[in-house]
Amino acid sequence: MSDQKAKLAIYWAASCGGCEISILGIHEKILEVDKAFDIVLFPCGADGKVRDIEKLADNEIDLCLFNGGIRTSEQEYMARLLRAKSKVLVAFGSCAQEGCIPGLGNMSNREDIFQTVYHDCPSNDNTQGVVPQAKTKVPEGTLHLPTFYNTLKTLGQTVNVDYFLPGCPPESERIWEALVAILENKLPPPGSVIGENTTVCDVCTRTRTEKKIKSFKRTWQTIPDEETCLLEQGILCCGIATRAGCGALCPQVNSPCIGCYGPNNGVSDFGARMMTALASIIDSQDPKEIEQIIKEGIPDPVGQFYRFSLAKSLLRRSKHTENGQL
């Protein structure tokens, strides 16, 4: 590899893999990435070896895009290893930044998850009730699997993170902008979110008036008109509390914002911010009526308000315990 190129690592922990696909979404600009970087680790696209990363000097990797939360001992090891080897570590995407969909597992504990996956799932054929073990002795020796933690953590709850690039996944245009900023040394202060500090509502082109909501509708219960603010039509759109950067793509196709870019600056808990915003637009002063509006229109508050952010939120997880540990 050429010493004139910067070194780039891309890693995938507890996530779906969509962030890797979004990198490829920069299309022909990937050739510019190749000109600027030697890719030293990219499990989704190349057969890199962990031992090769272990041999690198500390800070030898110029940039690491780390996507995914931390659910296993292996993922924690890789997070700590890549932190030590990287000058700049970016929490790449919602799973690394906030926990995202895997973080909803924090509503259960490890024991309950294993019960559902390995015992109760109708498609299973597991009559002996086998579940994964960290160590299993076989005639040839001892087999090892990563330890599955009781709680999913974000990357920033595990190691120090230099920058956050939000999105599920980040839009390819934002990825390219971030790479250019890194190459040109035009990054914001360490610890910053690379993106816009405004909301999806601010860039949405739908017509808005005064919001007064008498009921909330699920997306399958109505066909919204294509011009009016979705929230004003009673469809629970999270654009009012979600950081811009996606171009308001979901409202453009008549679908509500679901909050994947997380909160903008100064908001410590996305769910609390969203609930506060909705409380101000429910058109009732009657506590019983308000309770009924919420109960009928928002049957899954955690899934609605903490779909992407539970692991990073003030709640972090339910109080299920296993061996005395949260």
Q: 105-134, pLDDT tens digit by residue?
A: 999 999 999 999 999 999 989 999 999 999
Distance between CA atoms of residues 14 and 154, nearest Å: 10
Which range has the worst mean pLDDT, 72-86, 243-257, 278-292? 278-292
| pLDDT at residue 2, as a whole number | 47
Which range has the worst mean pLDDT, 76-80, 119-123, 210-214, 260-264? 210-214
Domain with CATH 3.40.50.700 in the chain: 6-102+151-183
Query: With pLDDT > 90 as the criterion, what percentage of the chain qualifies?
Result: 72
User: What secondary structure, in 3-state letters, does the chain show?
Assistant: CCCCCEEEEEEECECCCHHHHHHHCCHHHHHHHHHHEEEEECCCCCCCCHHHHHHCCCCCEEEEEEECEEEEHHHHHHHHHHHHHEEEEEEECHHHHHCHHHHHHHHCCHHHHHHHHHHHCCCCCCCCCCCCCCEEEECCEEEECCCEEEEEECCCCCCCCCEEECCCCCCHHHHHHHHHHHHCCCCCCCCCECCCCCEHHHHCCCECCCCCECCCECHHHCCCCCCECCHHHCECCHHHCCECCCCCHHHHCCCCCCCCCCCCCCCCCHHHHHHHHHHCCECCCCHHHHHHHHHHHCCCHHHHHCCCCHHHCCCCCCCCCECCEC
Q: Inform me whether the pLDDT recorded for 305 exceeds 70.
A: yes
Average pLDDT over residues 260-288: 92
Q: How does the average pLDDT of the chain come out, rounded? A: 92
Per-residue pLDDT tens for 206-247? 999 988 888 999 889 999 999 999 999 999 999 999 999 999
In CATH, the architecture of 6-102+151-183 is: 3-Layer(aba) Sandwich (3.40)
pLDDT band at 34 (very low <50, low <70, confident <90, very high): confident
Q: Inform me whether the pLDDT recorded for 309 exceeds 60.
A: yes
| pLDDT at residue 321, as a whole number | 60
Q: Inform me whether the pLDDT recorded for 320 exceeds 80.
A: no
43-80 per-residue burial string, b: 16 or more CB within 10 A, e: under 16 = eeeeebeeeebeebeeeebbbbbbbbbbbbebbbebbe
The answer to whether the predicted template modeling score (pTM) of the entire model surpasses 0.85 is yes
| pLDDT at residue 182, as a whole number | 82
Q: Inform me whether the pLDDT recorded for 326 exceeds 70.
A: no
Query: With pLDDT > 70 as the criterion, what percentage of the chain qualifies?
Result: 97
Average pLDDT over residues 99-105: 96
Tell me which of 265 and 157 has the higher pLDDT.
157
Question: CA angle at residue 178 from 41 to 190, to 5 degrees?
Answer: 90
